[in-house]
Structure 1
């Protein structure tokens, strides 16, 4: 049967279609459907078929009644055995039916489905231990919404309840509060002080937290808006300060450049800073050297062929001669 064409929600005549990947989910829905349809059918599925028994009017002992002697009420009661099997058949796809077609009673079919998809006692215990571990380690992330966290938490406790009907739910509220992120600590403390956690329903707690979550989101938006405005003002102030420094720097550079130009102009008028060609500078330097050599002469006798230190004429003053010699 194509699941897309299976309109189970439009009629109570068809049970929920079997889902092997979500067996616990299907199991709970199927149980509810059968109980709503006929409690006798669920009794047959759990405990087995009604037997063709009736009390002997003489001995008051239950005895098997032959079909020919069965009353109409007994026949209607026995007909429920087949009706319970038909309910299961209508919920199962062909592939699943091939596994249970050898089963004689509705109870056998149901037990086969439980063992195949839920496991035996040992497997069931292992699953319970695994889910209990998930329950104990459950935490809600900082950015996770209350709705998302509750959906995950509800999946865990639903699975636990399906595998172990005796699992206590008295700690659900306290566990969920302890699983909240530290940013909820103030709210958690307020709830613990104002509420009786032993009588507080989990749905009531979730509703209370959702209201507070909306308030927190609005406060966060207001804070972010203020932060963005402060950031914008700071950036604008930094930009204006940078522009002022740039203008000041450019003004100082212009003044410095103008001073350098005026300094060069002053010395250029005095004949300085006039760059001459290399050959001209070399010839001038050689001319100065020759001129310097030709102008040199002895300060004592005036002979240009030697200096005063080599002058053959004796000095009149011995102190002067000693000074000249030392020099």
Structure 2
């Protein structure tokens, strides 16, 4: 089951478990649309079995009497329900295994993971607080900060509230570290922030961040080379001093051995 979740693709949405509903909902919505428009609409519109009225008595219409249009509607419902059933784990499936209508299954999951309208509003307020207090740390990368913003915006979207692109860009403008100040100012002067996409803005900052890292790396290399050169100079100086000391010792030794040896008193004569 775990492998199935990790290998989700364009033909197979991720597996819904107890921790990834917001991610799953966005993926599943796109997947249902990719099947066809009727399948996607069935999750919103729902489906009820066709009926007939005889003598003011309403009864379910026999399947063999369904029209082509009625067949297409129920097929869309069945496609959507089958898709939902096949992308939930066994614990989640217990919540919807008795559902025969895709809309009912979808809304059951929404209530289970998003709560009632009151709970949803409370969660949106919490997300708003998280968004407003979010700041980029001095040692944090642009990629990491962008992921934090996306987590909040995706969860907000799953709860029915879309954060505008302009709001997200201005959030980054207010909360970036000082090292990005010059780049941000340049972007503000050159771009229209009301139309600039967040991913484009972040890409510019990421490129600038890479140049900063390259500069720091070059400085570190320069410092290391300087230290190496200084150490080498010190070693050369020591080696030169040692060589001079050896030469001095040789000269003194040679001079000492060549002095004439005297016999008797140094001062001659009798008293």
TM-fit CA distance, 1:236: 8.1
2:114 is aligned with 1:118: yes
Cα distance change of structure 1 residues 70 and 122 upon mapping to structure 2, 3 Å threshold? same
- RMSD over aligned Cα atoms: 3.2
Counterparts of 2:220 and 2:142 in 1: how far apart (Å)?
21
Cα distance change of structure 1 residues 182 and 106 upon mapping to structure 2, 3 Å threshold? same
Counterparts of 1:53 and 1:169 in 2: how far apart (Å)?
47
Cα distance change of structure 1 residues 27 and 71 upon mapping to structure 2, 3 Å threshold? same
Residue in 2 that maps onto 1:127: 123
TM-fit CA distance, 1:120: 1.2
2:140 is aligned with 1:140: no
TM-fit CA distance, 1:49: 0.5
TM-score normalised by the chain length of structure 2: 0.73
Q: How does 1:264-283 map to 2 (within 5 A)?
A: none
Alignment gaps of 5+ in structure 2 = 53-57, 242-271
Residue in 1 that maps onto 2:40: 42
Residue in 1 that maps onto 2:73: 77
C-alpha offsets along residues 114-165 of structure 1, whole Å, 9 cap, x if unaligned?
1111211111112111111111112111122212221222212222222233
Counterparts of 2:145 and 2:93 in 1: how far apart (Å)?
38
Counterparts of 2:134 and 2:224 in 1: how far apart (Å)?
36
Residue in 2 that maps onto 1:19: 17
SS at 1:171's partner residue?
Answer: helix
Cα distance change of structure 1 residues 73 and 65 upon mapping to structure 2, 3 Å threshold? farther
User: Are the aligned partners of 2:136 and 2:177 in contact in 1 as well (CA < 8 Å)?
Assistant: yes
TM-fit CA distance, 1:32: 0.9
Aligned partner (choices 160, 165, 172) of residue 169 of structure 1: 165
Counterparts of 1:70 and 1:148 in 2: how far apart (Å)?
55
TM-fit CA distance, 1:69: 4.0
C-alpha offsets along residues 48-92 of structure 1, whole Å, 9 cap, x if unaligned?
1055279xxxxxxxx988335432332232333333322222222
Runs of 4+ aligned residues of structure 1 deviating over 6 Å after TM superposition are: 233-241
TM-fit CA distance, 1:8: 6.1
Aligned partner (choices 192, 200, 203) of residue 204 of structure 1: 200
Counterparts of 2:86 and 2:215 in 1: how far apart (Å)?
54
TM-score normalised by the chain length of structure 1: 0.62
Counterparts of 1:195 and 1:106 in 2: how far apart (Å)?
45
SS at 1:20's partner residue?
Answer: coil
Residue in 2 that maps onto 1:66: 61
Aligned partner (choices 176, 181, 186) of residue 182 of structure 2: 186
User: Are the aligned partners of 1:52 and 1:78 in contact in 2 as well (CA < 8 Å)?
Assistant: no
Counterparts of 1:114 and 1:181 in 2: how far apart (Å)?
38
Residue in 1 that maps onto 2:219: 223
User: Are the aligned partners of 1:8 and 1:17 in contact in 2 as well (CA < 8 Å)?
Assistant: no
SS at 2:166's partner residue?
Answer: coil
Q: How many residues align?
A: 234
User: Are the aligned partners of 1:18 and 1:26 in contact in 2 as well (CA < 8 Å)?
Assistant: yes
User: Are the aligned partners of 2:156 and 2:162 in contact in 1 as well (CA < 8 Å)?
Assistant: no
Counterparts of 1:205 and 1:83 in 2: how far apart (Å)?
40
Cα distance change of structure 1 residues 22 and 9 upon mapping to structure 2, 3 Å threshold? closer
Higher relative contact order (CA 8 A, sep 6+): 2
TM-fit CA distance, 1:230: 5.0
User: Are the aligned partners of 2:180 and 2:205 in contact in 1 as well (CA < 8 Å)?
Assistant: no
Larger Rg: 1
SS at 2:139's partner residue?
Answer: coil
Counterparts of 2:167 and 2:10 in 1: how far apart (Å)?
38
Greater alpha carbon shift after TM alignment, 22-31 vs 175-184: 175-184
Counterparts of 1:109 and 1:100 in 2: how far apart (Å)?
5
TM-fit CA distance, 1:228: 3.9
